[in-house]
Chain A
């Protein structure tokens, strides 16, 4: 209880002397000096109580123990007695090293370490000196210090870690703010802090930097916004293009009622039976001329064609197809059945029927890289094209007599291709219109869309006659396709001089046009050499007996052989 006289504390500043203070409490009669007295006892083989060696005159109620009377590592017990009443009001025991509260450090000052680039923060180094009363040189007292700082007039002090040296850095202070810094110390491995030193004020004025960060961030923000707007505009303007690039269209088979899986995986005879059941697909058409590809030439600038040779022009077309494209579509899908020309669905279906045919367009000698499709050929041709060629096949006269392949013999200045008529077969119905067969102008269409010969015939129906077929054969010095039965009929080589086509025996019919110098691969023997069938002895091209031919399909010169058929052919 604090109403009674009691000790208020004992402290040592330097571990060499100490003082004790007491209070009389509410006992007014004991406040006179001398009423209360302090007695102490050191538990060091001395059990007598001795009175306080020195009552400080200047300070009230203080007892001072000087060096002589101070023993470290010794237990003291002090008593507060009223001698007159012989009452011990209070007693306390302690050891001196446990009551050491060092004096505050002196000489606290600060120096500026650096200011941040933005000019908003700065670091300082705070220095001080140990209290002079403490004998730190000898090490009698080993002190540790604690620095505290706060924004001026703030209530919360920031405390830093204990520091055994006499300096400390403070980081991250704000410019234009006043800070109070103070420091105190204690003996290491003891718990009693001394008093705080006087606070010092730390203040750094904010320097208005010449290159302020404000416009930099603004420029950055606006730049980013501008780039974003540009990107958005770009995307929106080129939406179609980007859509095609990123999400290319996937063609789907278009034959109604036919399973695409069967088309992919089925045998050719199955396909044939399946397809023959379809109305829109005529078998004779199928085995006659399904895979003639039509290269589309540039019809718009005939002036160019006059200068270069036709062959080279064709080659130029075929090799740099995109420049001559009548701009139908930007769809450059080679070999894929284009979905964009609804006018000729059937040739596309036909083309897609042939397993694995897609993608061959680039290698086929007759196919250019142009991405044009039929619909926009021209006013003349368009009208022809719109008719479904397959369905109107009976109306087509002259092509039926032809072989299912033809050789391009010449080019018209207008850009048409003149085909040398193939050998006519001996089918009687087809002998009628040989004349028209002479000049056939193919419209070479895109590599993606295969049309039939019938279509091409239609297209060329209104074309003016071109000069007659020449004697020689225009060979295509295209890439060699040896070893590839896909294009097996056309054994073209890179040499111009060679005639790639085997000259068959001259057909006996005199009225027929010159002998065709192309033939059909009959089969493949064991050494993977192609056995060619002389055209005269072709019995199987007769379209009137489709049923006879279809089962014998592996032996028929179909032109395109699937790998399955190749396996069948190999003996």
Chain B
């Protein structure tokens, strides 16, 4: 856990200094092989990314709650209002059983797609929050951190996928994730989504990523009959 946080911290510093759009490639710490280094197992990697995704979801929940104080959407006594997110085009399993039935490769691909789809919108969210006056710097920093974490998480999941591929758990049907399709967050009316809507959608999607990762881990690594 500490190692992933270390990586996060180092990369966060780098991201803060550099243009967030630039590619950051992380160098492997262990270059001498297993002799001088502790190579994490797949279970460890999964644990780390799952914790990371939990943290990301928690952040998104916090920001969303803060937004609700400002915007006071019309809520009825039961739940939230439907909003269409830009990631709705991605087919995602909508339940536990559906996710369990899904192939590992497809599940991994869905996760990566989701994470990739949020790279740019989160950056835009942070920019717009930093410029607006009615947000304190704390919220703006949270948005920035959220964007960085998403980026980190994507890298982590890619590593996990790589390891799974190496271990032969994943077939080669996982297509290379091309960032070519950058989905712009556009609402029904064609306008750019508001910050609140973005946060609503991201909160949902981060919960999806978290649960998908858990299901994936349960399927890859058999432990106490999950």
Q: Is B207 an interface residue (CB 8 A)?
A: yes
Q: Is A139 an interface residue (CB 8 A)?
A: yes
Give CA–CA (A142, B57) in the complex, Å: 12
Give CA–CA (A67, B76) in the complex, Å: 25
Task: Report B-chain residues with C-beta under 8 Å of the C-beta of A98.
Answer: 79-80
Give the distance to chain B from A479, nearest Cβ to Cβ, in Å. 78
The reply to whether A72 and B94 form a contact with Cβ atoms under 8 Å apart is yes
Give CA–CA (A288, B94) in the complex, Å: 126
The reply to whether A93 and B77 form a contact with Cβ atoms under 8 Å apart is no
Task: Report A-chain residues with C-beta under 8 Å of the C-beta of B218.
Answer: 138-139
From 1 to 30 in chain A, residues with beta carbon under 8 angstroms from any chain B beta carbon are 7, 9-10, 15-16
Q: Which residue of B lies closest to A139 (CB)?
A: B214
Q: Is A94 an interface residue (CB 8 A)?
A: yes
Most chain B beta-carbon contacts within 10 A, residue among A7, A16, A75, A189: A189
Give CA–CA (A140, B211) in the complex, Å: 6
Quick one: which of B78, B207, B215 contacts A9, CB cutoff 8 A?
Answer: B78
With A72-B94, A138-B218, A139-B214 in contact, is A190–B80 under 8 Å at CB?
no
Q: Is A309 an interface residue (CB 8 A)?
A: no
Give CA–CA (A138, B217) in the complex, Å: 9
The reply to whether B208 and A73 form a contact with Cβ atoms under 8 Å apart is yes
Type the 1/0 row for B131-166, where 1 means its CB is closer than 8 Å to any CB of A.
000000000000000000000000000000000000
The reply to whether B207 and A97 form a contact with Cβ atoms under 8 Å apart is yes
Q: Is A341 an interface residue (CB 8 A)?
A: no
Give the distance to chain A from B69, nearest Cβ to Cβ, in Å. 13
With A73-B207, A138-B215, A140-B96 in contact, is A188–B58 under 8 Å at CB?
yes
The reply to whether A93 and B97 form a contact with Cβ atoms under 8 Å apart is no
Q: Which residue of A lies closest to B208 (CB)?
A: A73
Q: How many residues of A contact B (CB 8 A)?
A: 34
Q: Is A95 an interface residue (CB 8 A)?
A: yes
Q: Is A498 an interface residue (CB 8 A)?
A: no
Give CA–CA (A99, B96) in the complex, Å: 16
The reply to whether B82 and A43 form a contact with Cβ atoms under 8 Å apart is yes
Give the distance to chain B from A80, nearest Cβ to Cβ, in Å. 12
Type the 1/0 row for B205-225, where 1 means its CB is closer than 8 Å to any CB of A.
001100100110110000011
Q: Is A135 an interface residue (CB 8 A)?
A: yes
Task: Report A-chain residues with C-beta under 8 Å of the C-beta of B224.
Answer: 137
Q: Is A70 an interface residue (CB 8 A)?
A: yes
Type the 1/0 row for B83-127, where 1 means its CB is closer than 8 Å to any CB of A.
110000000101111000000000000000000000000000000
Give CA–CA (A137, B224) in the complex, Å: 7
The reply to whether B57 and A189 form a contact with Cβ atoms under 8 Å apart is yes
Give CA–CA (A203, B65) in the complex, Å: 40
With A138-B218, A138-B226, A142-B54 in contact, is A74–B79 under 8 Å at CB?
no
Give the distance to chain A from B208, nearest Cβ to Cβ, in Å. 6
Most chain B beta-carbon contacts within 10 A, residue among A70, A73, A75: A73
B interface with A by C-beta (< 8 Å): 50, 54, 57-58, 61, 65, 76-84, 92, 94-97, 204, 207-208, 211, 214-215, 217-218, 224-226
A-B contact pairs, 18 of them (CB 8 A): A9-B77, A16-B95, A70-B95, A71-B95, A75-B82, A93-B81, A94-B79, A95-B79, A135-B96, A138-B96, A138-B226, A139-B214, A139-B226, A140-B96, A188-B54, A188-B58, A189-B58, A190-B61
Apart from A9-B78, A15-B96, what 10 extra A-B contacts exist at CB < 8 Å? A7-B77, A9-B77, A10-B79, A44-B94, A73-B204, A74-B94, A94-B80, A137-B226, A140-B214, A189-B58
